[in-house]
Structure 1
C-alpha cells in the first residue's frame, strides 16, 4: 500500500506504514456480551419449565419477607407492601408460598433433565441466572449465616480479631441480626473469606442489612464463573455438557444456598473448578495457587488436591511417552493417540482394562507430594498476606455446637444419647455414644480419604474428587445441605449411569424440601402452611391447571403413553 492510497475499511495505520485490524474495544465486548445474554434469555423463555422455575423462585422470595429471615423489628416488609406477612396468618401464607415455590422450582428442574423425555437442545444456558435474579433482593434464604458474615466483616474492618471474639463485640444492628447461637463464637472461615466480608461491609456504608444481602455479590459472581468454566471442563474430560449443566449449574439446591444463602462455599467451589481446569492443562503452579485460594474461603477445598495430583501425574506420563517416541518428535497421529490417554477410562474402576495413561505409584506419589506441598505452602502465604493469622484452627470446633440431623454419625450418636438418658444415665455418661459415633465417623473418613488419594486418584482423578467430598459429608460430624454442593457441581464431570443421576436427583429434592420445611418451622406455622399448599394443589388439579410443564407430564405418564402410541401403530 502506498501512502497516497486510502485505507481499506477496518484498517488502522501504525509506524512505518504497517496496517493492522483494530482491536475490539471494551464497549464492543460489553455490547456483545449483553446481546448474548439477551439471546440466551429469549431461548430460555421459550421453555415452559423455565417459567415454572422462575415462578417458584419469585414465590420463595416473597415468602422470605417474614421475621424468620429478616432482622428483628425490620420495617422493610411494610415499606415494600408486605406488612401482612408479619402477622400470624401472613406468616402461614408466607410459609405456604415458600413450600409451593420450592416444589415449583424442583418440578421445573426435574422436567429439564437430559434424556429421552428431556428438553430439546438441553438446559438453556440462561436458566441459572434467570432463576437466581429474584433471589438477589431477598433476605438471606434458608440460613442466617450471611448476617454472621456481615458482623465478622465489621470485626475485621474495626481491627478486631474475628478468630478470638464473636459478633457480640460489635453491638448494634450488625450483632442484632445474627443468630443467637453464633453471637459469642469466633469465625471458623479462611482468611480470604473474612477479607471479602470486610470489603463488602466497607462498601455497604455500614448498613447491617444491606451488608448481609450484598454478600450475594461475590456468590453470584462465583456462580457465573462456575457456569463459564464447567462446560469447558466437560470438554477436557470428554463428557457431555448437558448433564453437567443440569445438575451442576441449574440445580435448585445450588442456587438457593449459594446465591440465596450467600455462603462462602460459592467462592470455594468456583475456584475448585478453575483449579481442576488449570491442572488438566498442566499448569502446576497456578492450579496450586488457585486451590490454595479456594481453601482461603473454605478449608475443605483442599480435598480437591486429589484431582490436581491425578491430572498432573497423568499429564507427566503422556509427556514422557511423547518424548520417548521418535526422539520427542512423534507424528500428529501418534501425538493425538498418546494425548487421548490423559482422559480417564469409563466403566467400573475394579477390573478395568489396562490404562496406558495411569502413572506408577512412585511417580504419582512424587507428583501428589509436590501438589500438596505447593498448595499448602501457598495457602500459608495467603494467610500471611491477609494478616489474620491461624486462629481459624482453634475455631474449627465451632460448627459442632449445632446438632446436625443430616449427619449420620451425629444421628446415630444422638439416638444412643437419648436412650442412655432415658435409662437414667448422667449427662456425662450419655455423651459417650455421641462422642463415640462421631469418632468412628472421623476414623472412617480418614481411611476413605487415604484410599481415595492413593488408589483412586491416579486412576480416576475426576471421580476421586467427587468421592472425597462424598466421604467428607457422609462421615462428618456436622452436615448442612450446602456441604453437598461440591459433589453436585462436579458430578456431571463423571460419566455416571442414569441410576446414579436418579439417586442424586432424589437427594437434591429431599434436601430442597427439607430447606422449605425448615423455613416453615421458623415461621411457626408448618401445619397451616402444608394445609394451604395441599388445598391449593388439589384445587389446581381439579381445575386442570396444575402448573406442570408438558414434558414433565409426559415423563410422569410414562408407560401408559408409550403403550398408547404402540397400539396406534399396530392399528395403522
Structure 2
C-alpha cells in the first residue's frame, strides 16, 4: 500500500469518528442544562412548573466543568475531522477508497439534529454564561418605566428579576441596541415577576433565530451537496455554536440571523438594507458584516446607496425611539477588555513593563482592529485560493 493510500485510509478512519464525536458533544451540552443549577447553570427563581425545566440535582461542580470541557473538546475535534474530507481534492485514484472508508453524513439529517437540539435547549436552563440574567433585567426596566441605558440592576433593589444579575454587572447599563431591548421587554412583559418564564421566552426567541438561520442557509445551499454539508456542519449541527449561542443564550444569535438573511437577500437592496439595520440595532458590531455586500456593490453606487440608506434609516429610527442615552454605554463598552480575551494578557504585560497608570484600552482597541483587518485579509486570500477551478462567476451570484 502506498503512503498516499495509507494517509487516505487513516483520514477516512478519523472522519468516521466525526459524527459520533459531534453527537456526543451535543448530548453533553444538553446534559449540563438538564442537571440543573451548578457553576455552569445559574439558578432561576419562579414557579417550578414553569419552563425551563431541569432535574435540579445540584451536580458536583467538578463534574459539570468536566462535562463542559469534554463537550468543547469533542465538538472541536468532531468538526475538524468532519470538515477535512469535505475540503480534500477528489482524486480519481482515491475516490473509491475514500467512499469505502467514510460515508459523509446526510446534510438534511444534520440540519434536523441541530434544529432538534436547539429546540430542546430552549426548554433547559441556559448554561455557560450569565448574560441572560442581564437581558431579563434590562427588559424588566423597560416594563417598569426605567431606561436600561441609564440604569443598572442595582437600581431595582428587591426586584425578583434584577436581583438575579451577577457581579460585576449589577451597575452596568445595557450596551445592546433598541431591537434587542424591545425583545427583552416583550419577554419581561410575558414573564412578569417570574425569572424562569422571562428567560424561557428569551430562549424561545434565541432558538427560533438559530433554527431560522440554519434553515435559510440550508435552502441557499441545497443545490450543492458539498456546500450543503459544510453549511450544516458549520452552523446548524455545529456543537460549538449550540454550546455557545443556544445553550449560552447570547443575543448575538438574533443579530446573526438578521445578517445572514441580509446577505442571502443582497440582490434586493431594500430588504437587505432593512435586515442589516435590524442586525446593527441588535448589536452594533454586527455592522461589520455590511462590508461584504458594500464591497460587492462598489461598482453599483445606486444600489449601494439604497441598501445603505435603508439600513441607516432603521438604525436611526431605533435609536431615536430609545433616546441618545443609548449611545454612551455602547461607546464606553467598546473599549472594555474581557477577562476571557487574550488582550487581557497584553494589558497585563504592558502594565508590568510601563506601569499600571494606564489601562491601555485605546491602544488595545487599535490593536484589535488591526488584528481584525489582518484576519479578514487572510480569509479573503484563503477563499480565493480554495475556490474550485472552473467555477463560473454566475454561480456565486445571489439567488
State TM-score, norm by structure 1: 0.54
Cα deviation digits, residues 517-568 of structure 1 (max 9, x gap): xxxxxxxxxxxxxxxxxxxxxxxxxxxxxxxxxxxxxxxxxxxxxxxxxxxx
Structure 1: gaps (5+ residues): 1-46, 314-358, 450-465, 471-486, 499-572
Cα deviation digits, residues 100-151 of structure 1 (max 9, x gap): 3434444544454353546244462212123334422333221100000000
Q: Does 1:97 align with 2:67?
A: yes
Aligned to 1:162: 148
Q: Does 1:300 align with 2:290?
A: no
CA contact under 8 A between 1:52 and 1:108: conserved in structure 2?
A: no
Q: Distance in 2 between matches of 1:266 and 1:71?
A: 22
Q: Distance in 2 between matches of 1:238 and 1:494?
A: 19
Q: Does 1:394 align with 2:328?
A: yes
SS in 1 for 2:288: helix
Pair 159,135 (structure 1): closer, same or farther in 2 beyond 3 Å? same
Q: Return the match for 2:246 from 259, 262, 281.
A: 259
Report the alpha carbon displacement of residue 212 of structure 1 after superposing the two structures with TM: 2.3
CA contact under 8 A between 1:65 and 1:138: conserved in structure 2?
A: no
Aligned to 1:437: 363
CA contact under 8 A between 1:50 and 1:108: conserved in structure 2?
A: yes
CA contact under 8 A between 1:231 and 1:241: conserved in structure 2?
A: yes
Q: Distance in 1 between matches of 2:333 and 2:124?
A: 27
Aligned to 1:412: 346
Q: Return the match for 2:130 from 126, 136, 144.
A: 144
Pair 302,242 (structure 1): closer, same or farther in 2 beyond 3 Å? same
Report the alpha carbon displacement of residue 435 of structure 1 after superposing the two structures with TM: 3.6
Report the alpha carbon displacement of residue 402 of structure 1 after superposing the two structures with TM: 4.7
Counting only pairs closer than 5 Å after superposition, residues 328-477 of structure 1 correspond to structure 2 as 359=299, 363-364=300-301, 367-384=303-320, 387-396=321-330, 397-398=332-333, 400-408=335-343, 410-420=344-354, 425=355, 427-428=356-357, 431=358, 434-435=360-361, 437-441=363-367, 444=370, 448=373, 467=376
CA contact under 8 A between 1:66 and 1:94: conserved in structure 2?
A: yes
Report the alpha carbon displacement of residue 277 of structure 1 after superposing the two structures with TM: 1.3
Q: Which one has the largest radius of gyration?
A: 1
Q: Does 1:180 align with 2:167?
A: yes
Q: What count of residue pairs does the alignment treat as equivalent? A: 346
Structure 2: gaps (5+ residues): 1-18, 87-97, 388-399
Cα deviation digits, residues 72-94 of structure 1 (max 9, x gap): 89997xx9654452xxxx22223
Report the alpha carbon displacement of residue 262 of structure 1 after superposing the two structures with TM: 1.4
CA contact under 8 A between 2:54 and 2:125: conserved in structure 1?
A: no
Report the alpha carbon displacement of residue 379 of structure 1 after superposing the two structures with TM: 1.5
Cα deviation digits, residues 259-307 of structure 1 (max 9, x gap): 112111111111111111111xx31111111111111111122222222
Q: Distance in 1 between matches of 2:171 and 2:234?
A: 37
Pair 246,442 (structure 1): closer, same or farther in 2 beyond 3 Å? closer
CA contact under 8 A between 1:268 and 1:295: conserved in structure 2?
A: yes
Pair 179,126 (structure 1): closer, same or farther in 2 beyond 3 Å? same
Report the alpha carbon displacement of residue 157 of structure 1 after superposing the two structures with TM: 0.9
Aligned to 1:57: 29
SS in 2 for 1:176: helix
Report the alpha carbon displacement of residue 496 of structure 1 after superposing the two structures with TM: 6.7
Aligned to 1:284: 269
SS in 2 for 1:182: coil
SS in 2 for 1:201: helix
Aligned to 1:338: none
Q: Distance in 2 between matches of 1:219 and 1:61?
A: 16
Report the alpha carbon displacement of residue 401 of structure 1 after superposing the two structures with TM: 4.6
Cα deviation digits, residues 419-457 of structure 1 (max 9, x gap): 34xxxx4x42xx16x2463153266379x49xxxxxxxx
SS in 2 for 1:246: helix
